[in-house]
Amino acid sequence: MLGRLILIILKASMELSKRNNALLKAQKKGYTIDKFGNLYNPVGKKIIGSINNKYKVATCGLDKFSFHRFQAYQKFGRRIFKPEIVVRHLDGDHLNNSWDNIDVGSHRDNMLDKPAEVRLKAAHIAAQSLKKLKPDQVNELKRLHKSGWSYMSLMSRYKIASKSTIYRVVKNKSYQYE
């Protein structure tokens, strides 16, 4: 019976991602993290770690694991391994891995942790990168429309698929360059 239970546990851990297995390995080896987000190796020495993609990470053997996920594992257990769950920094500071700053939730929850102005700025940057027309093209399109060009002609010239895009440019509802 005990042998079967061990096999079930081993199978479950084999199905986890590499990063999640790294957390389990670090805990098994004796790594700990305190309530302030400081990580310690098995002999009690504080680990400084490094920064990887905005997050503090450490290595356990050849495997890397992040401080925030390790803290979340200590706080929430295996719940953090669910695919729909993300680990959140409540104050938006990716380097603050304190117990009180770490929570779990959905991707939406994580986005809403950011201040509205930060979300708006990110959305604006994303929208700008999707725009196909440059400022000089917008000015020319508006000038051509005023001189009598039809929406269809403008769509063909600028390779725009919808009349509504031309309308929004002409009516200054989008592409409002200065």
Looking at the structure, tell me whether residues 136 and 110 fall in a common domain: no
Number of domains in the chain: 2
Query: 149 vs 105, 114, 138, CA distance in Å?
Result: 52, 44, 14
Looking at the structure, tell me whether residues 25 and 108 fall in a common domain: yes
Looking at the structure, tell me whether residues 51 and 25 fall in a common domain: yes
Looking at the structure, tell me whether residues 109 and 137 fall in a common domain: no
Looking at the structure, tell me whether residues 159 and 111 fall in a common domain: no
Beta bridge partners of 50: 57
Looking at the structure, tell me whether residues 145 and 102 fall in a common domain: no
Looking at the structure, tell me whether residues 164 and 80 fall in a common domain: no
| Digit-coded pLDDT (tens) for 88-119 | 999 889 999 999 999 999 999 988 888 899 88
| Digit-coded pLDDT (tens) for 147-159 | 999 999 999 999 8
What burial letters (b/e) apply to 64-90, b meaning 16+ CB within 10 Å?
bbbbbbbbbbbbbeeebbeeebbbbbe
Looking at the structure, tell me whether residues 93 and 149 fall in a common domain: no
The answer to whether 162 and 132 have CB atoms below 8 angstroms apart is no
By residue range, what is the domain housing residue 136?
132-178
Looking at the structure, tell me whether residues 43 and 85 fall in a common domain: yes
**Percent of the chain's residues with pLDDT above 90:** 60
The confidence band for 6, taking pLDDT boundaries of 50, 70 and 90, is low
Looking at the structure, tell me whether residues 22 and 107 fall in a common domain: yes
The CATH code of the domain that includes 65 is: 3.90.75.20
pTM: 0.65
Query: In degrees, to the nearest 5, what angle opens at C-alpha 114 toward C-alphas 23 and 16?
Result: 20
The answer to whether position 47 is within a domain reads yes
